[in-house]
Structure 1
Amino acid sequence: MSTLSEFYQKHSGKLLLLTLLSFPLLFVKAQTLPANNDIETWLPRDSEVRSNYEEFKRDFGVEELIVVGIENTSKDDVLVEAVCERLERLDSVRKCWSPGRMQAIMTSFGVDDVEAESRLKGLTLSQDGRLVGLICLLSPEGYGDRAKTVDAVTGVLEYCQLRGDQVRLAGAPVIVTELDRLGSEEENQKFFFITLLVCWGLLAYTTRQWQLSLALLGLTIWAIQLTLAGIHVAGGEMNFILSALSVMVMIFTLAVSIHFMHYYTAALEDDDPLGQALKTAWKPCCLATLTTTIGLVSLAVSDILPVNQFGYAAAWGSVVALITGLGLTPALMTIWPPQAQSEEQGAAIISRLGDWISTHSKVVSAATVTMIMATCVGLMSIETKIDPLDFLPKNSKVLTDAQRVEAQLTNIDSIEAVVEFRNNDLPFTQRLEKVREIEAVIAGHPAVRHTISSASFFPSEMPQNPFTLGRLLKRAESQREHNEYIADGERLWRIS
């Protein structure tokens, strides 16, 4: 270790200068780390659920929507249709449905006005009729950049002077965009700075040297930037789980640095305190990092991609913490050697605690085993629940908007059932009746609020008169290209 000690004595200044010069590059790479909170990333890549979803998108197009709820208005309000038309002009929106448009199609197919409006209640109209919902179906461009799409929709609403509680926005793109914002480095900076301030106060209290405490804090920030930059270079992405990584790397780095500093102060009477500290510190710090890394890498067995990514990213962060704490802290010690601290009071407290545990070892062991068994019972009763809304702050407008839309209009997510007809000779009316039968079964499930399919736009009883039926089917044929619920030449029928 004497060779290492000599190295630090000669080159500490150069090593720290190189660290300082590398910071801007690492900072830029860390800040440009892309965010991805897509709900699909929680599905295993090779799972049947995900493959079915990808096939559904190929058949029926991108199925993501934004629900725009307009308060204190009616479906016949001119403003509602004007907003709908402006939203449909956006490149990111392929179709925008208003209650008026949906009712017009139903009535053109022979559904009377009263029945048509009742079908829209709880879907695009609240029961009291004072909250009107516009359903914006995203185009591939809109799906590719959800944040830009949400900004464009918000821009249209502001142009129409709809702000605050006058309008409610809900849907997966809105939630994902908000999660991206909450999980971004910019949003977490204010909390991160508070954490830094607390850490600096504790370091200054411990070291009694403000220069050394600031330098140690600077090393932790460098370690965080190196960790995030490494994730960026490796092709990783930020998400709301990885947003906890910065604080974790800070804790790991400070733990190694403080350990080394205490080893150094304990060896101040030695001829080579730096070498003695390195000799004492390397083994426990390396073993602690090794066991931590093994535990974190074990998360890579998870099929859930964000958990998998967190395992690798956190393991990389623990290695960076070791390199920083054990590799760069000695350089600081040569420039600002820590002062010897009196630890008699703390040592006395630790000694008394150790004596008490030794004297009451059987009681402590029994209490520990009992607590472990109790927690194991609780562990078996834990249920899995992943709801993106649970990650939003309770006072978030996105959360209150989503709750309002779900309570008064429709759920912001859905289950999509696809009925496949392999008999190409089956008439349209028979397919329609079969879909209606299946839809009725699905609608009867206690967890289903409502359903919608192509059958929802047709009258409950199809016309018996051949001429009337022919005109209706001809009208349906003319609307085929606008039909969101039939694909592949009437082979696939969708029930939401």
Structure 2
Amino acid sequence: MKKIVSWFTVCACIVVTLVSLILTLPMSQENPEKLFLRDQQLQDFELYTKKIEEREIVVGLVKSQQSLLQNLELSDDLAAQLADVLSDQQVTIHSFRTFFGKMFSSTIDPLALSEKIEKIVGEAKLLPLLDQKHIAHLFVLVPNLTLRDKNSILQHIKTVYAKGPNPYFLSGPTVINQGLNEQSNQIKNRLFPLMFMLCFFLLWGMTGKMLPTLVIFVPSLMASGLSLLSIYLLFGSMNMINSVLPLFTFAINASLGLHLLFSLAYSENFNSMIKFKTTPICLMMGTTFIGLISLVVSDLAIIRQFALLAAGLTVLTSVTHLAFAWAFYALFPNTPRQARPLQLFNRWQGLLPPTRLTFWVLTLLTVIGTLAIPSIRLETEAAHYFNQEKHPVGQGIKEIGGTIFGNPNMDIILEKTSAPWSMADLEKIHQLENKLLSALGPHYKILSPNQFLLEANAISGVGRSLPSSLLSYPIILGQILGDTNASYYQDHLYRMTLMGPTLGTLEFTAFDKLVAQLLKAEEPWGPISYQLTGTSYNLKRSQLNLVSILALSFLSSLVVITLSAFFISLQRKIRPTLIFFAVNLFPLLTTCLFIKIFNLSFNIATVMTFSIALGLVVDGTFHLQHAHAHLPREQIWPSVKYPIWASTLVLTLSFAILAMNQFLPIREFALVLVMSIFLGMIFDLYFLDAAIRLFTPKGELKD
């Protein structure tokens, strides 16, 4: 009966692994604008979208070195082809003729037509959709399109543009999200399998036999599969936060498997080994679960989801790992229990003796790393994730940002509740816009009702001035903006969008402060209220706080884990509890020193690496403290420290593959993860031992 149950367990685990990996192959990654908004900011964003029917815009740019008339013909031809393949129920196509055609459509003489178009091109600074070097189209998407619809629209645009000989570029939130999705799929479908294969061969090289390799690798891979399947069933797609889960569970289970394998060398059988290891294993699962669950107090919904999933999967995958190992060793009791001797490992043992010098050197590195944290750059602009010289998305951002218009860095919403707008109100707003343009510099444009009307009047020959009559104001504006008019001008609402270069964190902070100061200087506004908002603006402000939120969440998780260890395993002793806290926190602070040295950044991906590293370091710390309390010192290296060293070697070399990717978050994620895991091992193997020797009375030290 036991053999039947064992075979069923092993086969079930293998089937679950294969099914979960196959089912989740088509799963994509989605990072909608609302994903990283805190609860309060999410409410503000929803209020903003109720006031403004926000329509996403994709900009298409085609380079073409021809005369204005030839480029106009090319623009019209491409617009006609695009209209044939795109549904007008989903997208509205705007070209040079759409905006300015009424001003030259009646002109027949080629020379006069060329002169008119040249004049329009010279005045059309807000929407430079045509010149002798390029043509451009604006694709205005209807609200609430699905990701599939948006991707279909982009594919149709690319197909039409690709038919011609000229290079083309696309930009916009949908383009960036599609780029993120493509990068994620490439990593999931190519780099992850390569990483898992390398991990398998490294384990095989360490153990020297196939059976012990399988008993570690299969349940670790199953943990990743279960993580992917959970995300797929619960959410249908991945995002930049929960995509960490498969790596997190794989790392935890690979470490657990190595501890089980090498502990068997000093046990009669699997059951006796489990009895001895029950305490550290349960503590690892329990405290990690408690620490992750503590993150549900976050005001970021995506962090709460990550906490619940990670906590549940830590326990689930650890239990399934133990079940698989029990069944495997029952079927193959002669599985080798000891790794082949490695000369490198034998040399490693004496690298850092557990002395006072080791303790204080590592402590000094921790202090320096802590001091380096404020100077580490914070990267919150998704546009900077793509290489602007090599990646199509990065190239599009660079070309279109320098030719058509830049990023919508902020929307300013003005509301007048007491009465409709008057021309005096609009003139005052015009003065404010001039001050903003003067303060922000030549790289900025303001898309607003006033600016559109000023440009339209300049092109028509009336002069760069506002209409004299309020009655003609909305009529002319409606002719210019068409179906997007209501999103910029209503009887009681006026919107201006500040378009400029993509901003880093420090640049955005200075920009935000400057605009706020200019608006405050114009007060009192009387019955007119204003709000700084916008999709890009809300996302940027939310991400400014995201890293600090994640850091606080990480620290709160570590504190909860430490308190749990204090009450459960450390017998409420202050000294070992402080050592436990330090050995789990210090390596991650030291990692910050190397983040600064290698000019890496804090971003959504790199901050999440600390959660993975914390899980591994806590796991090793529990095993080591349990070993120091119950094993002779000569058994600690081969039975406990060797698995920590081996798992670090396997995971760092495997994760290093991800560092070859050119996508900034993934490359930096891999580098920071490798450094934090490696430093976690250093502190577990050497700092912990040195701290125990330094702060434990000699009479209490175990020989």
TM-score for both structures, normalised by structure 1: 0.81
The answer to whether 1:121 aligns with 2:125 is: yes
Aligned counterpart for 2:317 among listed residues 309, 317, 321: 321
- Residue 193 and residue 97 in structure 1: after superposition, are their counterparts in 2 closer, same or farther (change >3 A)? same
Q: 1:222 is aligned with what amino acid?
A: M
Aligned to 2:229: 229
- Check whether the contact 2:231–2:237 (CA below 8 A) recurs between aligned residues: yes
Where structure 2 has 5 or more consecutive residues not aligned to the other structure, the ranges are: 106-115, 458-463, 498-703
Q: Separation in 2 of the partners of 1:204 and 1:486?
A: 61
- Backbone CA RMSD of aligned residues: 3.5
Per-residue Cα deviation, 1:366-395 (whole angstroms, up to 9, x for no partner): 212211111111123345331112333563
- Residue 36 and residue 340 in structure 1: after superposition, are their counterparts in 2 closer, same or farther (change >3 A)? closer
Q: Separation in 2 of the partners of 1:493 and 1:12?
A: 70
- For residue 198 of structure 1, report the CA deviation from its aligned partner: 1.2
Aligned to 1:207: 207
- Check whether the contact 1:12–1:332 (CA below 8 A) recurs between aligned residues: yes
Q: Secondary structure at the match of 1:451?
A: strand
- Check whether the contact 2:92–2:141 (CA below 8 A) recurs between aligned residues: yes
- Residue 215 and residue 471 in structure 1: after superposition, are their counterparts in 2 closer, same or farther (change >3 A)? closer
- Check whether the contact 2:29–2:180 (CA below 8 A) recurs between aligned residues: no
- Residue 116 and residue 229 in structure 1: after superposition, are their counterparts in 2 closer, same or farther (change >3 A)? same
- Check whether the contact 2:91–2:140 (CA below 8 A) recurs between aligned residues: yes
- Check whether the contact 2:28–2:184 (CA below 8 A) recurs between aligned residues: no
Aligned counterpart for 1:51 among listed residues 22, 32, 43: 43
Aligned to 1:42: 36
- Residue 480 and residue 139 in structure 1: after superposition, are their counterparts in 2 closer, same or farther (change >3 A)? closer
Q: Secondary structure at the match of 1:121?
A: coil
Aligned to 2:380: 386
The answer to whether 1:132 aligns with 2:132 is: no
- For residue 487 of structure 1, report the CA deviation from its aligned partner: 6.1
- For residue 161 of structure 1, report the CA deviation from its aligned partner: 4.6
Q: 2:465 is aligned with what amino acid?
A: E
- Residue 94 and residue 419 in structure 1: after superposition, are their counterparts in 2 closer, same or farther (change >3 A)? farther
- Check whether the contact 2:53–2:486 (CA below 8 A) recurs between aligned residues: no
Aligned to 1:253: 253
Q: Separation in 2 of the partners of 1:389 and 1:483?
A: 25
- Check whether the contact 2:21–2:229 (CA below 8 A) recurs between aligned residues: yes
- Residue 264 and residue 346 in structure 1: after superposition, are their counterparts in 2 closer, same or farther (change >3 A)? farther
Q: Separation in 1 of the partners of 2:238 and 2:153?
A: 24
Q: 1:493 is aligned with what amino acid?
A: Y
Q: Secondary structure at the match of 1:95?
A: strand
Q: Separation in 2 of the partners of 1:476 and 1:274?
A: 79
Q: Separation in 2 of the partners of 1:285 and 1:298?
A: 20
Per-residue Cα deviation, 1:278-327 (whole angstroms, up to 9, x for no partner): 11222222222333334444444444444443333333332233123322
Q: Secondary structure at the match of 2:252?
A: helix
Larger mean Cα displacement after TM superposition, 91-100 or 283-292? 91-100
From the two aligned structures, give the one with the greater helix fraction: 2
- Residue 181 and residue 288 in structure 1: after superposition, are their counterparts in 2 closer, same or farther (change >3 A)? same
Q: 1:82 is aligned with what amino acid?
A: D
Aligned counterpart for 1:20 among listed residues 14, 19, 37: 14
- Check whether the contact 1:70–1:166 (CA below 8 A) recurs between aligned residues: yes
The answer to whether 1:178 aligns with 2:179 is: yes
Q: 2:50 is aligned with what amino acid?
A: R
Aligned to 1:11: 5
Residue pairs, 1:455-470, within 5 angstroms: 455-458=450-453, 459=457, 460-462=464-466
- For residue 71 of structure 1, report the CA deviation from its aligned partner: 0.7
Aligned to 2:327: 331
Q: 2:403 is aligned with what amino acid?
A: Q
Aligned to 2:99: 102
Per-residue Cα deviation, 1:2-49 (whole angstroms, up to 9, x for no partner): xxxxx86662112112323444553455446563211221111332xx
| Count of matched residue pairs | 469
- For residue 480 of structure 1, report the CA deviation from its aligned partner: 8.1
- Residue 343 and residue 284 in structure 1: after superposition, are their counterparts in 2 closer, same or farther (change >3 A)? farther
- For residue 101 of structure 1, report the CA deviation from its aligned partner: 2.9
Q: Separation in 2 of the partners of 1:182 and 1:473?
A: 44
Q: 2:280 is aligned with what amino acid?
A: P
- Check whether the contact 2:96–2:137 (CA below 8 A) recurs between aligned residues: yes
Q: Separation in 1 of the partners of 2:237 and 2:96?
A: 39
- Residue 53 and residue 14 in structure 1: after superposition, are their counterparts in 2 closer, same or farther (change >3 A)? closer
Larger mean Cα displacement after TM superposition, 19-28 or 386-395? 19-28
- Residue 347 and residue 91 in structure 1: after superposition, are their counterparts in 2 closer, same or farther (change >3 A)? same
Larger mean Cα displacement after TM superposition, 189-198 or 328-337? 328-337
- Check whether the contact 2:421–2:492 (CA below 8 A) recurs between aligned residues: no
Percent identity among equivalent residues?
17
Q: Separation in 1 of the partners of 2:180 and 2:407?
A: 16
- Residue 198 and residue 153 in structure 1: after superposition, are their counterparts in 2 closer, same or farther (change >3 A)? closer
Q: Secondary structure at the match of 2:446?
A: coil
- Check whether the contact 1:83–1:156 (CA below 8 A) recurs between aligned residues: no
- For residue 485 of structure 1, report the CA deviation from its aligned partner: 5.5
Q: Secondary structure at the match of 2:353?
A: helix
Q: Separation in 1 of the partners of 2:165 and 2:188?
A: 25
Larger mean Cα displacement after TM superposition, 342-351 or 446-455? 342-351
Larger mean Cα displacement after TM superposition, 195-204 or 317-326? 317-326
Per-residue Cα deviation, 1:404-424 (whole angstroms, up to 9, x for no partner): 111222114342212223343
- Check whether the contact 1:93–1:136 (CA below 8 A) recurs between aligned residues: no
- For residue 100 of structure 1, report the CA deviation from its aligned partner: 3.5
Aligned to 2:365: 371
Aligned to 1:167: 168
Q: 1:60 is aligned with what amino acid?
A: I
Aligned counterpart for 1:357 among listed residues 346, 353, 359: 353
- Residue 163 and residue 296 in structure 1: after superposition, are their counterparts in 2 closer, same or farther (change >3 A)? farther
Q: Separation in 2 of the partners of 1:414 and 1:369?
A: 42
The answer to whether 1:291 aligns with 2:287 is: yes
Where structure 1 has 5 or more consecutive residues not aligned to the other structure, the ranges are: 1-6
Q: 1:18 is aligned with what amino acid?
A: A
Q: Secondary structure at the match of 2:319?
A: helix
- Residue 454 and residue 287 in structure 1: after superposition, are their counterparts in 2 closer, same or farther (change >3 A)? same
- For residue 148 of structure 1, report the CA deviation from its aligned partner: 3.1
- Check whether the contact 1:200–1:217 (CA below 8 A) recurs between aligned residues: yes
- For residue 483 of structure 1, report the CA deviation from its aligned partner: 5.0
- Check whether the contact 2:104–2:117 (CA below 8 A) recurs between aligned residues: yes
Q: Secondary structure at the match of 1:415?
A: strand
- Residue 15 and residue 461 in structure 1: after superposition, are their counterparts in 2 closer, same or farther (change >3 A)? closer
- For residue 246 of structure 1, report the CA deviation from its aligned partner: 2.1
Aligned to 2:55: 63
Q: 1:167 is aligned with what amino acid?
A: Y
Q: Separation in 2 of the partners of 1:472 and 1:379?
A: 53
Aligned to 1:72: 64
- Check whether the contact 2:220–2:254 (CA below 8 A) recurs between aligned residues: yes
Q: 1:375 is aligned with what amino acid?
A: G
- Check whether the contact 1:224–1:246 (CA below 8 A) recurs between aligned residues: yes
Per-residue Cα deviation, 1:407-465 (whole angstroms, up to 9, x for no partner): 222114342212223343554x444423322322332332661112122232323466x
Aligned counterpart for 1:449 among listed residues 444, 448, 461: 444
- Check whether the contact 1:207–1:213 (CA below 8 A) recurs between aligned residues: yes
- Check whether the contact 1:67–1:412 (CA below 8 A) recurs between aligned residues: no
- Residue 144 and residue 462 in structure 1: after superposition, are their counterparts in 2 closer, same or farther (change >3 A)? closer
- For residue 130 of structure 1, report the CA deviation from its aligned partner: 1.3
- Check whether the contact 1:297–1:315 (CA below 8 A) recurs between aligned residues: yes
Q: Separation in 2 of the partners of 1:478 and 1:91?
A: 19
Q: Separation in 2 of the partners of 1:344 and 1:26?
A: 35
Q: Secondary structure at the match of 1:416?
A: strand
Q: Separation in 1 of the partners of 2:64 and 2:428?
A: 39
- For residue 219 of structure 1, report the CA deviation from its aligned partner: 2.4
